[in-house]
């Protein structure tokens, strides 16, 4: 017995509807696992819409060669209703357990970073004072060194100026003596 291509398309779009319901159950399970606010729910709905749109367009292009029929939307609706009425409760429990396992695994992996964060947050006041005092001391040392360099530079310039003045006076005296002679 050979199935017609329309029957195969109908069965395929029942599966596509079930796939859309599976994706929707991921979001439902996450909302049950972790309470979320309205904004985050809106963001999740937008993400679900984009994923569902991608799946729908991809399946239409891949399975139908760009031809739409009304019975395909009925098949998707039938797939969604069948999945939600039969499998959804079990799959949501599985997803919640996966989220819990993922959360525990992630906490275990991030435990060293969490301990470091707790240590630094408890010692923040001490570290803050230590860093501020150290920065002030470094600033004073830099200003002291700059002041000393400035003084040395000024003294060096004064010395050079005095030396030049003496040399000019000496040259003028020599020049006067030569003139007198």
The answer on pLDDT for 179 being more than 80 is no
Residue 175 belongs to a domain: no
Q: What is the pLDDT of residues 56-105, one digit of tens each?
A: 888 888 887 767 778 888 998 999 999 989 988 898 898 889 888 888 88
Residue 130 belongs to a domain: no
User: What is the C-alpha separation between 114 and 78, in angstroms, rounded?
Assistant: 47
* Confidence at residue 1, expressed as pLDDT on a 0 to 100 scale: 42
- Total domains, the chain: 1
Residue 157 belongs to a domain: no
The answer on pLDDT for 25 being more than 50 is yes
* Confidence at residue 52, expressed as pLDDT on a 0 to 100 scale: 92
- Domain of residue 33, residue span: 5-109
Residue 37 belongs to a domain: yes
* Confidence at residue 174, expressed as pLDDT on a 0 to 100 scale: 59
Helix (H, G, I), strand (E, B) or coil at 34: coil
User: What is the C-alpha separation between 78 and 10, in angstroms, rounded?
Assistant: 10
Residue 179 belongs to a domain: no
Instruction: Judge contact between 95 and 25, C-beta under 8 A.
Output: yes
CA atoms within 13 A on the CB side of 96: 13
The answer on pLDDT for 175 being more than 50 is yes
pLDDT higher at 154 or 51 = 51
- Whole-structure pTM over 0.75, yes or no? no
Helix (H, G, I), strand (E, B) or coil at 15: helix
Residue 49 belongs to a domain: yes
Residue 151 belongs to a domain: no
Residue 116 belongs to a domain: no
């Amino acid at each position: 017995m050979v199935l017609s291509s329309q029957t195969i398309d109908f069965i395929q779009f029942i599966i596509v509807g079930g796939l859309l319901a599976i994706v929707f159950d991921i979001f439902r399970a996450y909302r049950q696992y972790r309470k979320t606010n309205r904004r985050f729910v809106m963001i999740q709905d937008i993400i679900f819409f984009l994923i569902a749109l991608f799946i729908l367009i991809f399946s239409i292009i891949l399975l139908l060669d760009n031809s739409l029929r009304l019975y395909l939307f009925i098949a998707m609706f039938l797939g969604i209703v069948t999945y939600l009425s039969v499998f959804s409760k079990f799959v949501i429990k599985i997803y919640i357990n996966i989220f819990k396992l993922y959360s525990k695994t992630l906490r275990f992996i991030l435990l060293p970073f969490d301990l470091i964060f707790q240590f630094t947050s408890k010692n923040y006041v001490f570290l803050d004072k230590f860093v501020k005092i150290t920065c002030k001391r470094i600033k004073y040392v830099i200003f002291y060194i700059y002041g000393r360099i400035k003084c040395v530079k000024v003294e060096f310039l004064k010395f050079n100026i005095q030396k030049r003045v003496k040399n000019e006076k000496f040259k003028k005296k020599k020049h006067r003596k030569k003139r007198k002679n």
